[in-house]
Amino acid sequence: MLLVIVGAGASYDSVPHLPPLSPAGGAQQNWTPTVQRAPGTHEEFRPPLAFQLFEDRKSFVAAMQTFPECLPIIPMLRGNVPVEQQLAAFEEQANTFPPRRRQLLAIRFYLQSVIWNCQKNWHHHHNGINNYATFLDAIERWRHASNERVCIATFNYDTMFEEAMEQVLGMTFEHFGRYVSDPRYQLIKLHGSMDWGLEINIPQSPRSWRDVIGNADVLTASTRFRKAGLNVVFEDGTVGFPAIAIPVEKKSDFMCPPEHFQIIGNLLTSVNKIITLGWRAQEQHFLKMLHSRLTGLPKDLDLMIVSGSAAGATETLANLGFAAPAPAKRSQIGNGFTGLINQLGLLELFLR
């Protein structure tokens, strides 16, 4: 069985004809592209890495102004700042400082909004010609010949992988059962999704996201997941909590239906191949699952790491913590998702 683990670097480098610019601190952020170019208008809508989530992009600032409760803490999330560490500090402060709860809930709505807007406009630039579709086509050719099973675990909020699965495999995701019911592919979104929401535990759900943020002190999210539109509006017009996990340091919680979490736990013992795409392997809770005696991976698995730089690939391997004996087959791609797509023979060789 093949396990594909997807991180933000995959969507960031998702279009082969629009390779990324080099961000500040690229190697540290698990990304160092080989192409230097003048920025184009499409850069406004490139899916962001974690440290870019609060950049001074025009569309990002517009979203911040839509959810003004988050504005006081935005300066603390910009510049040479460890964003995930700072957000973790905010979550700790929210336990004793009620305004932080409203600010963090506004951040959740903000994140849903900017990812939604980025993906919609990014699609106008790639029009379905992207690395996810080509990667999935190669995986499906291998899977069809080998009759193997594929589990995709993604930490991304966007739905680019779903779009590729619809395009290449004809799969649909109109309800939560669709993510895990296909015998060929299971898609597990461990940190939630931009089109998911959680119902609120009150007799009558709010009909405005303003009411949700304004009453963050007293409202609580349920564990009932529903598909949602922009600003977490459900089909019946009520509004929920964004079902996305804030990117905090040493994340310890998942944001997915419990049955999805159980399914991936059951599948891990069958995995004999792993491909990581733009993932830094910093989610401690998930890493513990990978190494657990009950749900853990076999020691002789094959491993391919796809990263934006050689240093990033080495970092991911170190974070994974695979001890000897080493995987029977190990491959590291250090020039990003596009680098892998431009060298599909390496992927085909790995899958054999």
Cα(46)–Cα(333) distance, rounded to whole angstroms? 22
* pLDDT computed for residue 344 by the predictor: 95
| pLDDT for the residue numbered 109 | 97
What is the DSSP code string of 266-280? HHGGG--EEEEES--
Please state, in angstroms and rounded to a whole number, the distance separating the CA atoms of residues 78 and 69. Answer: 17
Q: Are 187 and 179 in contact (CB under 8 A)?
A: yes
Residues 80 and 216 in one domain: yes
What does 288-317 look like in DSSP terms, one character per residue?
HHHH-TTTPPPTT-EEEEE-BSHHHHHHHH
Give the model's pLDDT for residue 291.
85
- Residue-by-residue pLDDT tens, the chain, 352 positions: 999 999 999 999 999 999 987 644 443 344 444 334 445 688 999 999 999 999 999 999 999 999 999 999 999 999 888 888 999 999 999 999 999 999 999 999 999 999 999 999 999 999 999 999 999 999 999 999 999 999 999 999 999 999 999 999 999 999 999 999 999 999 999 999 999 999 998 877 788 999 999 998 888 889 999 999 999 999 999 999 999 998 876 656 789 999 999 999 899 989 999 999 999 998 888 998 888 867 777 767 899 999 999 999 999 999 998 765 566 688 899 999 999 999 999 999 999 8
| Number of Cβ atoms within 10 Å of the Cβ of 35 | 12
- The DSSP code sequence of 231-286 is GGB-TTS-B-EEEE----TT-----S-HHHHHHHHHHGGG--EEEEES-----HHH
CATH number at residue 143: 3.40.50.1220
35: in domain: no
Structure tokens, 32: 């160092």
- The answer to whether position 290 is within a domain reads yes
Query: Is 166 among the domain residues?
Result: yes
User: 169 with 222, same domain?
Assistant: no
122 with 134, same domain: the answer is no
Specify whether 172 is located in the same domain as 139: yes
251 inside domain = no
Question: Is the same domain home to 162 and 288?
Answer: yes
* Same domain (yes/no): 119, 167: no
d(CA 132, CA 304): 16
Nearest to 307 by CA among 281, 276, 329: 276
- Specify the pairing of strand 273-277 against strand 302-306: parallel
Domain holding 139, by residue range, is 2-11+130-192+256-351
Contacts of 41 (CB under 8 A, 6+ apart): none
Helices 83-93/98-126 angle, 10° precision:
150
Q: Could you tell me the two tokens for 314?
A: 């080495």
Q: Are residues 149 and 210 in the same domain?
A: no
Number of domains in the chain: 2
Give domain status of residue 36, yes or no: no
Same domain for 122 and 265, yes or no, is no
Decide if 249 is inside a domain. Answer: no
Give residue 116's pLDDT.
97
Q: Do both 264 and 118 map to the same domain?
A: no
Residue 20 lies in a domain: no
Query: 197, 236 in Cβ contact below 8 A?
Result: no
Tokens standing for residue 23: 């961000």
Give the pLDDT of residue 24. Answer: 42
Looking at residue 328, its pLDDT comes to 65
* Same domain? 161 vs 302: yes
pLDDT at 305: 96
Tell whether 56 is covered by a domain: yes
Question: Is residue 94 domain-shared with residue 69, that is, in the same domain?
Answer: yes
Long-range CB contact pairs, 228-237, < 8 A, 24+:
228/195, 228/196, 228/197, 229/195, 230/112, 230/113, 230/116, 231/109, 231/112, 231/113, 232/109, 232/112, 232/197, 233/209, 234/197, 234/199, 234/205, 237/207
Return left, alpha or beta for 38; rule: phi > 0 is left, psi -120 to 50 is alpha, else beta: beta
**Is residue 184 domain-shared with residue 70, that is, in the same domain?**
no
Query: Helix (H, G, I), strand (E, B), or coil: what is residue 203?
Result: coil
